[in-house]
Amino acid sequence: GQNIDQPTEMTATEGAIVQINCTYQTSGFNGLFWYQQHAGEAPTFLSYNVLDGLEEKGRFSSFLSRSKGYSYLLLKELQMKDSASYLCAGMDSNYQLIWGAGTKLIIKP
Amino acid sequence: GAVVSQHPSWVICKSGTSVKIECRSLDFQATTMFWYRQFPKQSLMLMATSNEGSKATYEQGVEKDKFLINHASLTLSTLTVTSAHPEDSSFYICSARVASLGDTGELFFGEGSRLTVL
């Protein structure tokens, strides 16, 4: 079956760094997405990885290892506004997204 | 970036009535749109895939006669919740994929519509 696993909740301190892990099992693979979702709002796109390695985009970076079925989202210099849920989604061979349940990130001052 | 507009943002209705939610791609053509439902503190649940000019593909467990989807043009898909009941109260979100070569599969989301059925 297809499955996306990520932690339910994480807590970090303002100004620190946090890494949110995601493991995936999909039927075929056409990429791994990370989305940010604030409470009561629609998700917004953060990153897309289809090749192994690290993609850096400002304070956010995303890593992919296809052989391990593993990805992480790295958030640096955390700000209070980064408090949100972070959704990991894998795209299967039919270009359908398989969504994780999301990781709720709590930032403390 | 591509913009998807969803309307209405909030809707409150009485049990038994029908509610229509619109999803528009404002600056691009979307051959495929997706409708999701999200209950509090839960992840997105794909309800159906809407393809322009053809019938929607519904996920298992989603009643196609209750959740009517129409994708009449490349920029508009509608979801109609028929005979809504309190258990249909949820956050409904649409997303669209750009119809072009080199499509990375990135989805652009509407703002979401919060439905409350009394």
Helix (H, G, I), strand (E, B) or coil at B82: coil
The pLDDT tens digits of the residues spanning B23-62 come to 999 888 888 899 999 887 777 888 999 888 888 999 999 9
Name the B residues in 33-92 with CB < 8 Å from any A CB: 42-46, 49, 91
Residues 6+ apart with CB under 8 A from B92: B21, B35, B36, B37, B38, B79, B81, B112, B113, B114, B115
Q: How confident is the model at residue B1, as a pLDDT?
A: 63
Q: What is the mean pLDDT of each run of 10 residues along chain A (109 residues)?
A: 92 97 93 90 88 94 96 98 95 83 95
Contact with chain B for residue A69, Cβ under 8 A = no
The answer to whether A32 faces chain B, any CB pair under 8 Å, is no
- Output the pLDDT for position A18: 98
